Amino acid sequence: MKKYLFILFFVLGTNSFAAEVEMNFTKDAFINAQKSGKTVVVNSWNKWCGTCISQEKVFKKARKDFKDVVFLSYAQKNKDVAEFLNIDHRSTIVVYKNNKEISRAIGITKKEQIYALIKKGT
């Protein structure tokens, strides 16, 4: 009985931790944003990653606070994108400016940390 309750809790309970993020990364969007001279922030995402969910809460606010920054997200399981960007881990945030990588961090979740990372490209 305990086993079934655990399974039921796990299946129903973990859905409350899952979140959805628009996977808007395309190579064209990335390249065009860089050509425009804008700062580009890319984050790798996994809907079952607690760190990714915490980061997304900060990104929702950052999208409003950094109007001239392009925010692109992709699912970590998309190996082509991960290879193209040389990103090996979910919850990785990379900032680009003028066709160069400016900064990179894995697993940071605090607003101050993420905003400091973004500001390096602005």
Task: Give the Cα separation of 71 and 95 in Å (integer).
Answer: 9
Q: Which two tokens stand for residue 120?
A: 């390096």
Task: Give the Cα separation of 27 and 16 in Å (integer).
Answer: 32
Q: What is the pLDDT of residues 25-84, one digit of tens each?
A: 999 999 999 999 999 999 998 888 999 999 999 999 999 999 999 999 999 888 999 999
pLDDT at 3 over 60: no
pTM of the model: 0.81
Could you say which of 3.40.30.10, 3.40.50.620, 3.90.1750.10, 3.20.20.10 is the CATH number of the domain covering 19-119?
A: 3.40.30.10
What is the residue-averaged pLDDT of the chain?
Answer: 86
Q: Which two tokens stand for residue 114?
A: 């993420």
Task: Give the Cα separation of 78 and 83 in Å (integer).
Answer: 9
Q: How confident is the model at residue 10 (pLDDT cuts 50, 70, 90)?
A: very low
CB 39 within 8 A of CB 96: yes
Please give the pLDDT value at position 21. 74
Q: Report the run of H or E that residue 113 belongs to, with start and end.
A: helix 111-119
How many CA atoms within 13 Å lie on the side-chain side of 24? 11
pLDDT at 114 over 90: yes
What amino acid is encoded at 18 in this protein?
A
